[in-house]
């Protein structure tokens, strides 16, 4: 016996990880390139550096409102799984109609 337990190749006995995951708010995952692409689509040529943080704040507020309504629809249906229709209805309620998903 080599002391590895029942795992085939020593599961759970790995060494140090090369890349550690950084704990930060997930809204920070929206970095400069996606915001820049959205601005380009809207016809913006140059973007101030302060715009990125403001855009993250607006996106966070939008997602918070939509997800609050989505969870309300899910709980009202006595379900624990969020469906596409829950999200579509939450978007429609907030005035952002999304076509192509059955409502």
Quick check: 39 and 52 in contact, CB under 8 A?
Answer: no
Q: What is the pLDDT of residues 25-77, one digit of tens each?
A: 676 778 899 999 999 999 999 999 999 999 999 999 999 999 999 999 999 99
Q: Where are the domains of the chain?
A: 26-93
First and final C-alpha spacing in the chain: 61
Tokens representing 90 are: 């939450």
Q: Output the pTM of the full model.
A: 0.68
- The pLDDT confidence band at residue 21, using thresholds 50, 70 and 90, is low
pLDDT at 78: 96
Number of helices (H) and strands (E), helices first, in the chain? 3, 0
Q: Give the whole-angstrom CA distance, residue 76 versus residue 100.
A: 24
Lowest model confidence (mean pLDDT) among 19-23, 40-44, 79-83: 19-23
3.40.630.10, 1.10.4080.10, 3.40.50.2300, 1.10.20.10: which CATH number matches 26-93? 1.10.20.10
Helix axes 32-41, 49-76, angle to 10 degrees: 90
């Amino acid at each position: 016996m080599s002391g590895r337990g029942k795992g085939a190749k020593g599961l759970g006995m790995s060494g140090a990880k090369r890349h550690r995951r950084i704990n930060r708010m997930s809204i920070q995952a929206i970095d400069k390139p996606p915001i820049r692409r959205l601005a380009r689509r809207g016809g913006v040529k140059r973007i101030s550096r302060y715009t990125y943080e403001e855009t993250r704040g607006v996106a966070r507020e939008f997602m918070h409102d939509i997800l609050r309504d989505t969870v309300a629809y899910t709980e009202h249906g006595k379900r624990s799984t969020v469906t596409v229709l829950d999200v579509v209805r939450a978007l429609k309620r907030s005035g952002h109609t999304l076509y192509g998903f059955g409502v």
